[in-house]
Structure formats: C-alpha cells, structure tokens
Amino acid sequence: MARFFDVHPQDPQPRAIAQVVNILQSGGLIAYPTDSCYALGAQIGNREALDRIRSIRQLDSKHHFTLVCKDFAQLGQFVMIDNDVFRSIKAVTPGSYTFILPATKEVPRRLLHPKKKTVGVRIPDHNFVQALLAELGEPLLSSTLLLPDEEEPLTQGWEIKERLDNLVEAVIDSGDTGAEPTTVVDFSSGTAEVVRRGTGDPSRFE
C-alpha cells in the first residue's frame, strides 16, 4: 500500500521531504506532482524501478526517460550541451519543458535511447520538486504518469493513490497540478525540433 503525503505547495514540510527521499533511497517508486502534470520517479540507479515504470506505462525500449534536475550544474553532468543550445534552454528554465540531448557517460546505458544515445532532461519550476531534489542530492529518474490507453495524465493525488496503490511506494499531493505533460524539444542534432507540444510554449523553438 502506497504512503500518501499531503505537502504544502509553497513551503513543503522538511519532514515529509526527508521521508520521501528515504523511500527513494530504499528503492521505492513515487508518484509526484510537477509544474506540468504528475510523474513517476525513482533514483537513477534503480534498475527495478525502471522496469516497474516500463510495466506500469507499457513502454518500449525507445522511450526517452527524463532526468529531472535541480539546476544547470546538475544537468550539465548528464548531457552534452553547447553554448547556443545552453542559451536557448536557459531562456525557458526552470519551466515545463523537457530537452532531449546527447548523454554523457554518467547516464546508465539502460536509460538511453538505444540508437541515439540520448536522454531527456528538465529543470521544473515547482517548489516541492525543487525541495525534493535538494534533499536527494541527485537528479530523479522520471516519466510522465500517463497510463496505457489513456489520453491524459492523472492529475489528482487521491485518484493516483486509488489506482496505483499497490504499484508505487508513495503518492505526493501538493495542490493543483496541470493536465498536460511538458513540451519536448529535441536538440540532439544541434537544432531544435519540437517533438511534443505540451505545457511549455513551443513557439520559440519552431
């Protein structure tokens, strides 16, 4: 049975943050709110949780997982980024965008796109996620909480608890969240390609 955390949206309780981090570090999988919609999250090196995310969402090997980062210092450890791309991303970060970039050797191979050797990265504008990442001290392996055969992600903590109670270790509710995933921009070729329109305004990349 998943633990349910009701976290203040502006000033997340440190004790709750510490408890969620402990669940992650103990190998747990969480459902958590972001500045776009809910996502599934686990530690980067948690192979079992990765398999569980694939199972819950019925994902194939070509799915781009996302590393949710606290800041650019953290992001820069995991992807290769030149000055022009950096400026483009910096202009909309933190925000509701995911960027696909060539991965560094710090990223486990099982998280990479099998052919492109790329990974998704993003820096969210969300108080709970920022507090969680600060306490965790590393990016969060993440994937949008979009269930198979459903067109829209789940948006209510209580409903997620009800539907995923035996599939995750924790569900975090931190007030209202959006109903759309992030806008995804692929920079792996050096130029921007919008591959998914979502919460973030895609016009500056088109």
**8 Å CB contact between 63 and 187:** no
Residue 30: beta bridge partners?
41, 170
Whether residue 125 has pLDDT greater than 90: yes
Whether residue 137 has pLDDT greater than 90: yes
| pLDDT digit string, tens, across residues 150-190 | 888 888 899 999 999 999 999 999 987 878 899 999 999 88
| pLDDT digit string, tens, across residues 90-112 | 999 999 999 999 999 999 988 88
Whether residue 128 has pLDDT greater than 90: yes
At the topology level, CATH places domain 3-198 in DHBP synthase (3.90.870)
Q: Which two tokens stand for residue 55?
A: 């199972």
Q: pTM of the prediction?
A: 0.94
CA distance 20 to 14: 10
Whether residue 18 has pLDDT greater than 90: yes
The reported pLDDT for the residue numbered 17 is: 97
